[in-house]
Amino acid sequence: MNTNSQSLIQSLEWRYATKIFDPAKKISADIWSALENALVLTPTSFGLQPYQFLIVQDAAKRATLVPQSWGQKQVVDCSHLVVFAARTEITAADVEKLISHTVKVRGISVESLGFYRDMILGDIVNGPRSKVAHEWAARQCYIALGNLMTCAAILNVDACPLEGINPSEYDNILGLNGSGYKTVVALALGYRADSDKYAKLKKVRYSNAELMRTV
């Protein structure tokens, strides 16, 4: 697929927060593989990737999540449900893991990354931001959420971001308690039902002139 500026905007105009999914339509294995890889390729601060993506496909678990999602049926009717979970804290061990993996992938020395390691440790591990590490990690989840939504639109896959959820109950249902991760947000993906009236509504956005400012 070749994407130019016009087709990109068309894809973003086409997408909307899908309210009714067609449960009979499933995302193909090759499309889903591309979307998974897009998630993994999401940029994060320091490259720490302080999150996990839970792909909830178990029908019983999804049904249990509906009451904890303000009754939104997208949770059960979508093809794939992704729950974004952020780290509750960032530790020195997390930094060493990243350093070690970087050395392996790039074929460089540990010593060459000394300044990089110290910078991370001095900020999110031992610095003032260590006290808000989960909130910092949650913001990384939202970068991944936006990336996945855009990539889905380009591949003509519908999506609906779900902030109307009870994160603590999601944690209970998905077994996240004590794991070092907490639920932040979810995303339902699949294909819109013909009966979803919201698909035909015009987008309500302020003008470029109102939202953009060149400084």
Average pLDDT, integer, range 208-213: 98
pLDDT band of 2, cuts 50, 70, 90: low
- Compute the distance between CA of residue 44 and CA of residue 92 in angstroms, rounded to an integer: 17
**Domain boundary assignment for the chain:** 5-86+132-193
Percent of the chain past pLDDT 90, that is, above it, reads 98
The arrangement of secondary structure in 5-86+132-193, i.e. its CATH architecture, is 3-Layer(aba) Sandwich (3.40)
Q: Is the pTM of this model over 0.85?
A: yes
67 phi and psi, to 5 degrees? -65, -25
pLDDT tens per residue across span 165-177: 999 999 999 999 9
Average pLDDT, integer, range 47-67: 98
pLDDT for 204: 97
Cβ–Cβ contacts within 10 Å for residue 190, how many? 24
Which residues touch 16 (CB under 8 Å, ≥6 apart)? 158, 198, 199, 201, 203
Average pLDDT, integer, range 120-136: 97
